[in-house]
Structure 1
Amino acid sequence: MTPSKHQFAGKCKRVKLSDICVKGKSSLRQKDIANDGPYAVYGASGIVGSTSCFQNAKPYVAVVKDGAGVGRANACNAETSVLGTMQALIPKEGVDCRYLLHLVRSMRLGEDFSGSTIPHIYFRDYGKTLVPFPDMSGQRQIVEALDDIEKQRLTATKQIDRLDSLVKSRFVEMFGDPIDGTFWAKRKLSNLYEVKSSKRIYAREQTKDGVPFLRLADIGSLIDSGISDSGLFISEERFEELRSKGLVPNPGDVLVTARGTLGRCYIIKPSDCFYFQDGMITWLAAIESSPLPSYLLAVFNNPHFIEELNRNCSGTTVKYLSISDLANVAIPVPPLELQHEFETFVTQVDKSRFGGMLHLLNSLSGIMHASFFSVADTD
């Protein structure tokens, strides 16, 4: 269901983000937290401690301004503080804090971060963005609608998480722990796949339409919800040229996130038609000796395996999984018949996971964006 335009009551205008919120204090370091008082301190993952005083008196929105979670936004209570890795955004008078939260989230901050080593976004830059700003009546209607959608998304996500846990448990039952307790000989990924990257796409090659061009965050969205809309494209002619040279992944190939949250995998489907960012995403092109994609995905979803992956990757400040790092990773390879047995189990679980819940997530996500777009088009 797509919401109609002008569905929210009240007047709406376009303003700069900096016109409806101001920067709050955000100078605390982790070592400054003494846990000596009642006032909470927020970090990227939530409350990380407490202090005897607070920096921000009103409810506000905190945005992760650097590191792997750059751009993530969360609501914070009054009389609290945030670490220096977060940017506090204090709503001005006449601005509902929950509206500000949904608005900032809809901006998808962090996808075009600056900085060659550490991803970093600045309020002085994104504060100039023109955003829809309805009156208080319109804000509250939007908040009510989007809060309800968020609750439904949370319920569906929890159900999917339970099914993921079921798959992980079955994997360990069949194959043991891939790091400490495997029953099978290990082989390097370089012996199981052709480990490589995509062809670099320059800004001048991007077009207004054509074949979608996905960045790191877009691949994450594909993994999480099955949908992604980067708004970036390359021409169909350029895509076909790349395909003719064997530079486009085939069904069954695997894309692996190589920066930020490492080791997240997306299996290429027959219906997929997109290209992807080089450097941030590594391509495992299947060869004759490759294990089944469902088995590889389960290996990379194992928490012990991910811990080992993070210990052995490149980078001291921001972890980076280089092509050579990934090529040298060794995984246990059980007999193919056991992999097929596991794949059958995963297929049955996926019928529950994707038959209804993922469709719900996709629909709800579309409604969220359409709601903002309808407001943005209102004068």
Structure 2
Amino acid sequence: MKKKLTDLCDIQYGYAFDSKLFTNDEGYIPLIRIRDVQRGFSETYYSGKYPVEYVVHPGDLLVGMDGEFNISRWKDRDALLNQRVCKITAKNGTSEEYIRFALSKALKEIEQRTSFVTVKHLSAKELNRLVLDIPCYSSQVHIVGLCSSLERIIEKRKKQLQILDELIKARFVEMFGDPADISRKDKVELSEICEKITDGEHGSVARVPNGHPFLNAKQILKNGRIDWDTITYVGDEDHQRIYKRCNPVEGDILLTTTGTIGNVAIMPKAEEVSMDRGITLIKIDRQKVTSEFVAELLKQPSIQTEMGVNVHASAIGHLFMNRVKKLPAILPSMESQAEFTAFVRQVDKSKSVA
């Protein structure tokens, strides 16, 4: 049976709280913004008066309406429902967990339909007219049980992969220390160990159903993988123009420098791709460094801080190429880098079978 979302649940849209009253003082009530939905906590607080009907409680179901349309349970203490975030409350006879799973799928489909848009917005009108498949209540509960089991397996797998990533980070520090340590004698700038540092297309590019793959920053994931499933395509003329200046090949480093700053991936063996300016292409000098070494170097906390990744409130929306070129780097021996690279590749094999 198909029913409108509004027949299955109540939707409360957030309030436009006065940004002049936003504060970092934890003594005030937290304010839920778009970036807080998935992570489940906020570092922004509100010092003014507020309507009590906009207070969100732990466990409430929230949807972010800009960027990635995340849906998640609120995990922190009572907080305020800010604009562009909405709260979903199931009506009698509907499992709210079923809504969470079903709506997650529906929102992903909407997101993919708007894949050509730089900044995606989910309108209240679109959400209100959304239709979901809804079985009887007992079937809802059964489906929720299956989906919850799969969710737990996925989370366990993510934790396993995170442990392996931490192992690589620990090995890097053990072998090379902190690359931002000012007392180091082997300290250089990133540009000194690279042949070329450039970025992708700055202008708007028309997408086509079939053509050349075109990467954007959102497809470079935090875990170092590239999300090929959401790739879009550009025509031959646009591709050739972009690729002439920015031609990623196997072993090149891709660094996100717009939106989510600091995600790093090593370009795999793949067909020719072009990309937008949200990704900076780093062509290393392979006589001096290995891809695995530079990729892990860029993931180090001190280097991420240099990029502005840990700056509060996303003060840096774009990491400019000149700043990338001047990032701190080190130049250890190729023998030690080769040892580290072999270790990384062995761990990567463990990831595929873990």
The TM-score normalised by the length of structure 2 is 0.76
1:348: Cα distance to partner?
A: 1.6
Q: 1:198 maps to which residue? A: 200
Q: 1:195/1:60 Cα in 2 relative to 1: closer, same or farther (>3 Å)?
A: same
Q: Which AA in structure 2 matches 1:347?
A: R
The answer on whether the counterparts of 1:30 and 1:83 sit within 8 Å (CA) in structure 2 is no
Matched, 1:268 2:267: yes
The answer on whether the counterparts of 2:65 and 2:85 sit within 8 Å (CA) in structure 1 is yes
Q: Which AA in structure 1 matches 2:248?
A: P
| Aligned-residue CA RMSD (Å) | 4.1
Aligned partner of 2:72 among 71, 74, 78: 74
Which whole-Å deviations, capped at 9, do the CAs of 1:328-376 have from their partners, x for residues lacking one? 21311112111111111112211111x224xxxxxxxxxxxxxxxxxxx
**3-state SS in 1 of match to 2:308:** helix
1:124: Cα distance to partner?
A: 2.3
Q: 2:99 maps to which residue? A: 100
% identity of equivalent residues = 22
**3-state SS in 1 of match to 2:221:** helix
Q: 1:364 maps to which residue? A: none
- How far apart, in 2, do the equivalents of 1:57 and 1:311 lie? 29
Map of 1:350-369 to 2, 5 A cutoff?
A: 350-353=348-351, 355-357=352-354
Q: 2:173 maps to which residue? A: 172
The answer on whether the counterparts of 2:239 and 2:274 sit within 8 Å (CA) in structure 1 is no
**3-state SS in 2 of match to 1:229:** helix
- How far apart, in 2, do the equivalents of 1:274 and 1:132 lie? 39
**3-state SS in 2 of match to 1:284:** strand
Q: 1:42/1:97 Cα in 2 relative to 1: closer, same or farther (>3 Å)?
A: farther
The answer on whether the counterparts of 2:187 and 2:331 sit within 8 Å (CA) in structure 1 is yes
Map of 1:137-216 to 2, 5 A cutoff?
A: 137-180=138-181, 183-191=184-192, 192-199=194-201, 202-204=204-206, 206-216=207-217
1:294: Cα distance to partner?
A: 0.5
Q: 2:14 maps to which residue? A: 26
Q: 1:4 maps to which residue? A: none
Q: Which AA in structure 2 matches 1:61?
A: L
- How far apart, in 2, do the equivalents of 1:312 and 1:148 lie? 34
**3-state SS in 1 of match to 2:228:** coil
Q: 1:124 maps to which residue? A: 124
The answer on whether the counterparts of 1:211 and 1:239 sit within 8 Å (CA) in structure 2 is no
Q: 1:140/1:253 Cα in 2 relative to 1: closer, same or farther (>3 Å)?
A: same
Which stretch shows the higher mean deviation, 159-168 or 99-108?
99-108
Unpaired runs of at least 5, structure 2 = none
Q: 2:342 maps to which residue? A: 344
- How far apart, in 1, do the equivalents of 2:343 and 2:172 lie? 10
**3-state SS in 2 of match to 1:172:** helix
Q: 1:59/1:161 Cα in 2 relative to 1: closer, same or farther (>3 Å)?
A: closer
Aligned residues: 333
The TM-score normalised by the length of structure 1 is 0.71
Which whole-Å deviations, capped at 9, do the CAs of 1:57-76 have from their partners, x for residues lacking one? 8964213345xx75332113
- How far apart, in 2, do the equivalents of 1:253 and 1:310 lie? 22
- How far apart, in 2, do the equivalents of 1:114 and 1:80 lie? 36
- How far apart, in 2, do the equivalents of 1:34 and 1:243 lie? 47
Which stretch shows the higher mean deviation, 183-192 or 74-83?
74-83
Q: 1:233 maps to which residue? A: 233
Aligned partner of 1:308 among 306, 309, 329: 306
1:293: Cα distance to partner?
A: 0.9
- How far apart, in 2, do the equivalents of 1:174 and 1:221 lie? 23
**3-state SS in 2 of match to 1:245:** helix
Q: 1:321 maps to which residue? A: 319
Q: 2:220 maps to which residue? A: 219
The answer on whether the counterparts of 1:60 and 1:90 sit within 8 Å (CA) in structure 2 is yes
Q: Which AA in structure 1 matches 2:191?
A: S
The answer on whether the counterparts of 1:61 and 1:74 sit within 8 Å (CA) in structure 2 is yes
1:283: Cα distance to partner?
A: 1.0
- How far apart, in 1, do the equivalents of 2:128 and 2:242 lie? 39
Which stretch shows the higher mean deviation, 285-294 or 251-260?
285-294
Q: 1:199/1:41 Cα in 2 relative to 1: closer, same or farther (>3 Å)?
A: closer
Q: Which AA in structure 1 matches 2:199?
A: S
Q: 1:34/1:201 Cα in 2 relative to 1: closer, same or farther (>3 Å)?
A: closer
Which stretch shows the higher mean deviation, 126-135 or 249-258?
126-135
- How far apart, in 2, do the equivalents of 1:263 and 1:79 lie? 29
- How far apart, in 2, do the equivalents of 1:208 and 1:19 lie? 36
The answer on whether the counterparts of 2:95 and 2:141 sit within 8 Å (CA) in structure 1 is yes
- How far apart, in 1, do the equivalents of 2:265 and 2:279 lie? 10
- How far apart, in 1, do the equivalents of 2:338 and 2:131 lie? 50
Q: 1:376 maps to which residue? A: none
Q: Which AA in structure 2 matches 1:64?
A: G
Q: 2:63 maps to which residue? A: 63
